[in-house]
Amino acid sequence: MPLVAALDSVPGVRGVLGLFEGVCTGAADGYGRMTGRPALTLLHLGPGFANGIANLHNARRAPTPVVNVIGDQATWHRDADAPLTSDIGSLASPVSCWLRSADDPARLGADAAEAISAAWQAPGGVATLIVPADVQWSDGGRPGALAPPTPPPLPSGATLDAVAEALRHARAPAVLLRGASLLEPGLRSAARIAAVCGARLLCDTFPSRMERGVGRPGVERIGYFPEQGAETLKGTDLLVLAGSRDPVTFFGYPHTPSRLAPESCSSQVLAEPEEDIAGALEALADALAAPGAGRSVEPAERLRSSGALDPMTLGAAVAAVQPEGAIVMDEGATSGLPHYRAAAAAPPHTYLALTGGAIGQGLPCATGAAIACPDRPVIALQADGSALYTLQALWTQAREGLDVTTVLCSNRSYRILQVELARSGVAEPGRNARAMTNLSDPTLDWVSLARGMGVPAARAEDAETLVRELEHGLTEPGPHLIEAVL
């Protein structure tokens, strides 16, 4: 309570209420991705924090700067083991790059400043500060001095030379971009390298944030399933890791190696995540005497989508109308994939993906992105099964009047689980397995759910209606949801 009351004691604090902690942590992730600065979540003891873990897992994998402040029992009340008491440290450590319990009021300000610095420092991370109730209400607190993040260092000249040398000798090199290298300056340098070395530009299956569209260098995404990922990397003899890690399969499968690259492919680190990745790419381009510009995506005719909705027509419909400057949060899962291809030549836009695989990220992350960028339209391309994890985010969008248009991909199943079930050799799932993987019986009515949360909603069963409703949602201020029935 002292922390809640304190939100009004300092000017410039904007409190945003989430109706479930996973909304708050996912929104903090979206805010951090778009601004590079940490948002602060205020959470209540172990169970309140636990509700936010899944989206903090995604933030950790991004990685995104996020600061969690967790109100805890008074220090002297811990041993009483009251009902809400639990081991917060054990819950928090798997997602936190920095974790502390602030048990001394005199140090609380310094602890908070340190948490912010830890989260903010490149490449960003989740910092968690536990604040016992008595430390909140006690006298003796002093504001801490915030150390702004130090500029990330360039990799050593030896590293740059080694990578340049390897690129000169590679037959079929590829550069795997992650983090800052997927923003515009990094992409431009990467395109120069690609042009001079014939290197392909790749990104992970689920990038944290990528600038895309006409006029920007195009990047190929590594396929999701192991055979698709291996296909993406087939023939590659050198992988240059720009803030990235050697790519691995999403899950382990029988008789399938963890590593996706061919055995004969060597990997070479250009920059660690905590280094200046974009700077390293620029230095490498210069070292290779690359020309001043590489290739970018050419404008192409945008085809309007029509007919019955399926992932293809849905993706084409969204790509056809998404405006310049849009932020697309893609948690479309199996329904979202074709949009990625269709939007390659869309107007310049920002693409956000589900980094950690913890579903329920899309609606909250879109919410946070909209708070970060009030002048940009946000499109949430959202699978129905995943949306059900954190549908409460819709209410926050309504309360804050955020320009988020959600395309709710309603295929009424956990399609990815059905695919995985088939892949694991179950040709005819039994009654239980069928019941666990479909969302029908009863059918979820997303128009009612959205309206219940205060968000105007409509249903589209064909591409023409989807386009019309999208244009409406993107024009009218405030949030909208379109249930796209697949």
Is residue 249 a contact residue for a second copy (CB under 8 A)?
yes
Query: How many C-beta atoms lie closer than 10 Å to residue 362's C-beta?
Result: 30
Sheet of 173-177, strand order: 220-221, 200-203, 173-177, 238-242, 266-271
Q: What's the closest the beta carbon of residue 388 comes to a second copy, in angstroms? A: 4
- Residue 8 backbone dihedrals phi, psi, to 5 degrees: -100, 0
- Binding a second copy (rule: CB under 8 A), the pick from 451, 459, 468, 472 is 451
- Binding a second copy (rule: CB under 8 A), the pick from 355, 367, 406, 413 is 355
N-term to C-term CA, the chain: 46
* Orientation angle between helical segments 53-61 and 362-372, nearest 10 degrees: 70
- Binding a second copy (rule: CB under 8 A), the pick from 142, 245, 304, 341 is 245
3 state SS of 328: strand
Answer yes or no: are the C-beta atoms of 154 and 96 closer than 8 Å.
no
Instruction: Please say which residue, 285 or 398, places its beta carbon nearer to a second copy.
Output: 398
Per-residue binding letters, 93-132, with a second copy (x by CB under 8 A) = xxx-------------------------------------
Cα 118 to Cα 3, 36, 418, distances in angstroms: 21, 13, 41
Count interface residues toward a second copy (CB under 8 A).
Answer: 97
Q: Which of residues 369-398 bind a second copy (CB under 8 A)?
A: 385, 388-389, 391-392, 395, 398
Which ranges in 36-156 belong to alpha helices (H)? 45-50, 53-61, 88-92, 105-120, 133-137
Three-state secondary structure of 349-412: EEEEECCCCCCCCHHHHHHHHHHHCCCCCEEEEEEHHHHCCCCCHHHHHHHHCCCEEEEEEECC
Is residue 172 a contact residue for a second copy (CB under 8 A)?
no
Q: What's the closest the beta carbon of residue 33 comes to a second copy, in angstroms? A: 16
Is residue 255 a contact residue for a second copy (CB under 8 A)?
no
Is residue 164 a contact residue for a second copy (CB under 8 A)?
no
Is residue 151 a contact residue for a second copy (CB under 8 A)?
no
Q: What's the closest the beta carbon of residue 26 comes to a second copy, in angstroms? A: 12
Per-residue binding letters, 44-83, with a second copy (x by CB under 8 A) = --xxx-xx-xx--xx--x-----------xx-xx-xxxxx
Cα-atom radius of gyration of the chain, to the nearest Å? 23
Q: What's the closest the beta carbon of residue 216 comes to a second copy, in angstroms? A: 25
Is residue 171 a contact residue for a second copy (CB under 8 A)?
no
Q: What's the closest the beta carbon of residue 394 comes to a second copy, in angstroms? A: 10
- Residue 464 backbone dihedrals phi, psi, to 5 degrees: -60, -45
- Residue 347 backbone dihedrals phi, psi, to 5 degrees: -60, 160
Contact stretch for a second copy (CB under 8 A) within 29-37, 103-111, 235-243, 422-430: 422-430
Task: Enter the tokens of residue 479.
Answer: 């949030």
- Binding a second copy (rule: CB under 8 A), the pick from 103, 144, 429, 468 is 429
Task: Enter the tokens of residue 33.
Answer: 């991705």
Q: Which of residues 452-481 bind a second copy (CB under 8 A)?
A: 452-454
Q: Position of tokens 């956990």?
A: 414
Task: Enter the tokens of residue 70.
Answer: 């967790």
Beta bridge partners of 211: 350
- Binding a second copy (rule: CB under 8 A), the pick from 237, 439, 464, 474 is 439
Per-residue binding letters, 259-288, with a second copy (x by CB under 8 A) = x-----------------------------
Is residue 31 a contact residue for a second copy (CB under 8 A)?
no
Instruction: Please say which residue, 163 or 387, places its beta carbon nearer to a second copy.
Output: 387
- Binding a second copy (rule: CB under 8 A), the pick from 318, 338, 437, 481 is 437
Is residue 417 a contact residue for a second copy (CB under 8 A)?
yes
Is residue 399 a contact residue for a second copy (CB under 8 A)?
yes
- Binding a second copy (rule: CB under 8 A), the pick from 105, 446, 460, 473 is 446
Instruction: Please say which residue, 1 or 289, places its beta carbon nearer to a second copy.
Output: 1
Task: Enter the tokens of residue 280.
Answer: 């390293």
